[in-house]
Amino acid sequence: MNITDTAAKLIIARTEVYLADMGRTGSFGGFPTLSEATDSLTDEALKEWAEVSGEGARKGKTDGASGRYLYALELLGWDNVAQTLMELCVAVYMYPEFDAYLVSNFGYGPCLHLAALIEGREGLAYAEIHDYASKVRRILRLDLMSEPLQYAEVSADERLMGFLDCNDDVSLKLADFTTLFRWDDETLHEPYVNKALIERGTEHFANGGSVLCLAGRGGRRFIAKHIAREMKTDFLFVNIAGLIRKAEKDNIAPLRDALIREAYYGKAGICLYGFDEHFITGGTSDRERGRRDMETLSGMLFAPLTGEGIPLVICVDEISMMPGRDVIGGLKCISLPESYDYDERKKLWQGLFEACGLEMDPASFASRYRMDPNEAARTVADYMQKPREDEQDITEEERFARISIDSIRNNESGTGRIIYPDVRLDDVKLKDNVKNVLRDAVNAVLSGPVVLDEWDLRKRYPYGRGVSLLMAGPPGTGKTMSANAIAGELSLPLYQVNLSNTVDKYIGETEKNLEKAFSFAEKNNVILFFDEADALFGTRSEVHDSKDRYANTEISYLLQRMEAYDGIVIMATNIKGNIDPAFMRRIRFVAHFENPDEEMRRAIWEGCITDSVPHGDIDIAYLATQFDKFTGSVIKTVFLNACVKAAGEGEELGMKHLIYAIKQETEKESPVGFTMETLGKYAYLI
């Protein structure tokens, strides 16, 4: 018989004795279960109960169920009335027949008035009633809004019974949105960055602070866990979105009280997260409503928690969502960095790689990725868990990039599409002067952190540190393929902005869509690619009407956003002169693409005809010389169509298939103007 069972049976016996003293003998008649329970009490069990619950045991610490029972008494302030009320509730939970017994003999179940009667404290004063109520609600269910409060129903739930039975599972009422973090959890890795923030948060609670707000994105809960570790205090992590969704059905008060009891059982603090912008405000434009909602939560949730002495951490996206100190007492706000410099990113990657036993270059990852600590840790974890597919002929860094982008697919901004390039600069046939510009842009990304941070030039360039590349030239000269090749060289995905989804006729919507694209690229470490950039980066016009004014406003916004953007932007245009001069001053690299000359056309044809393609004799010199208007894009289209023709006829690729495809291509522009002389000496094959 454990201590809780003994206490339940003993309070049943004490209640029967109280009724007998009041002249109601034989009260167990009709309640055989209660009679059997009290008859099973042994002298040994009663002695153990007296030793545990007596005043002499209060200074000692007892393990197991006895220790849990003793801690419950401590939470009740070692008060006899509160202890009796707890035992009445426990007895009703263990022996439901006892509730019917109480109602039959007193007219009500467990309540403060009944506990006071049994303890000989009839006629509690108003102040005493409220004092008792505030004590017992730490571990028992009690609605403080009930009147009269001394007769309000009090009960034990499954969580109290589990706690007394040494079970530390979170209450089923809270389990859907609450997890318990143990401060000595060995799986929590070291903080490679933001150590100063952890120290500030820990110091705040050590100096008597009650509420800490962690604002920003990327590792707020991780910081909260390290604060818990420094405090040597367990923390309950509560998704506020889940709590409020359930509160819409169950009311927030019982959930809040269950949370308070959970914190008391585990001597734990509470971390509330999930205050995402749309959940609280209903939209980005309604911040004032969001602030009012937070003020409401302050009274219904934050204040009751801190009023019980529970350390509270609140994770929000922006400090502006939080009410001031006049609404939340003991509040301190700490903002996470919006970005991390090269040295911090290098420390982060180095720490994560060492913790996982990965032999990768942290400097390379610090150069290529601008992930926050949370994103980096999650990506490394996904990388470790996902098995390598041997058939994929890609490097580990390329595999890492593809794994990191998986999460992006679930959160795409809707303004573009993700591309995983497989090409490299060596695959693109370009003149040396053009390819050198592209390589310079790649090197600017890879060596930028060294130049800006290790060479201490960052402070001299407070803006304009991003890498921007403009590729200008006729259609089909390799601009899009070059953009893919640059992304391939950097092992980064390409985010091709869809201008049809970005440019909007309504005032202000284009800027919003562009901000989505830039924010998406910043957060998810992708290369922004604006094809046919004239539509966005075109020359500003004279203002003749409101339409011109707002068009120029869009360009002004882009100018500011380009300067503030630290990532990689690639733009392609057919005519360089269409780009506004103000953009040209801010673009670091410009590559001029031209139609290929004969030597380049020969190289492109040779690059197409590989050993994997079954083919006969191909007159490459003729193809390169005869069709001097073909661009690289046209050559690849012709070659593909010729291969389809050959495969469809069950033959290897030959000149007749290529001439056929060339005829098709040249007839696109003007079938009437096409002549056989266009095909030269191989015209007879048609």
Place of tokens 């470490």: 525
CATH number of the domain within which 308 lies: 3.40.50.300
**Which pLDDT score, from 0 to 100, does residue 371 have?**
82
For residue 680, with 0-12 CB atoms within 10 Å meaning exposed, 13-18 middle and 19 or more buried, which class applies?
Answer: middle
Structure tokens given for 251: 């009311």
- Is the same domain home to 143 and 221? no
Residue 420 falls inside a structural domain:
no
> What are residue 650's phi and psi, to 5 degrees?
70, 30
Same structural domain, 401 and 433: no
90 with 228, same domain: the answer is no
Q: What is the pLDDT of residue 119?
A: 94
pLDDT lower than 50: segments of the chain: 278, 281-285, 391, 408-412, 540-551, 672
Same domain, 280 and 355: no
Q: What is the pTM assigned to this prediction?
A: 0.72
Round to whole Å and give the CA distance between 447 and 465: 12
Matching residue, tokens 């006895």: 66
Question: Which pairing describes strands 141-142 and 154-155: parallel, antiparallel, or unpaired?
Answer: antiparallel
Both tokens of residue 565?
Answer: 């953007």
Q: Are residues 292 and 316 in the same domain?
A: yes
Domain boundary at 571, 592, 613, which?
Answer: 592
Are residue 516 and residue 657 in the same domain, yes or no?
no
Q: Is 360 contained in some domain?
A: yes
Find the CATH number of the domain harbouring 660: 1.10.8.60
- List beta partners, residue 313: 212, 271
Strand residues in 265-359 grouped as ranges (E): 269-275, 312-316, 331-335
Residue ending a domain, among 314, 335, 356, is: 335
Tokens of 504: 């909007």
Residue pointed to by tokens 């995402």: 276
Tally of domains within the chain: 5
* pLDDT score, position 391: 47
pLDDT tens digits, residue range 167-216?
A: 999 999 999 999 999 999 999 999 999 999 999 999 999 999 999 999 99
- Whether residue 11 is found in the same domain as residue 134: yes
> Are 79 and 154 in a shared domain?
yes
Residue 321 lies in a domain: yes
Nearest partner of 349 among 359, 362, 336, judged by Cα: 362
Single-letter code of the amino acid located at 618: I
Helical (H) or strand (E) element with 270 = strand 269-275
H or E element in which residue 284 lies: none
> Does residue 172 sit within a domain?
no
Is the residue at 416 inside a domain? no
Same domain assignment for residues 569 and 469 = yes
169 assigned to some structural domain? no
User: In this structure, are 391 and 302 located in the same domain?
Assistant: no
104 and 40 within one domain: yes
Task: Find the angle CA(400)-CA(405)-CA(408) to the nearest 5 degrees.
Answer: 160
Which residues are registered as beta bridge partners of 471?
Answer: 572, 591
Q: What's the alpha-carbon Rg for the chain, to the nearest Å? A: 37
Residue range(s) defining the domain that contains residue 654: 598-685
Q: Which residue, of 289, 315, 335, is where some domain finishes?
A: 335
The pLDDT score that the predictor gives to residue 545 is 40
Is residue 535 a contact partner of residue 575, using CB atoms and an 8 Å limit? Answer: no
Residues 244-248: contacts with CB within 8 Å, 24+ apart?
A: 244/279, 246/176, 246/177
Query: Is 411 inside a domain boundary?
Result: no
Burial of 487 (0-12, 13-18, 19+ CB in 10 A): buried
End-to-end Cα spacing for the chain: 101
Instruction: Please tell me the predicted confidence (pLDDT) of residue 97.
Output: 96
Are 530 and 650 part of one and the same domain?
A: no
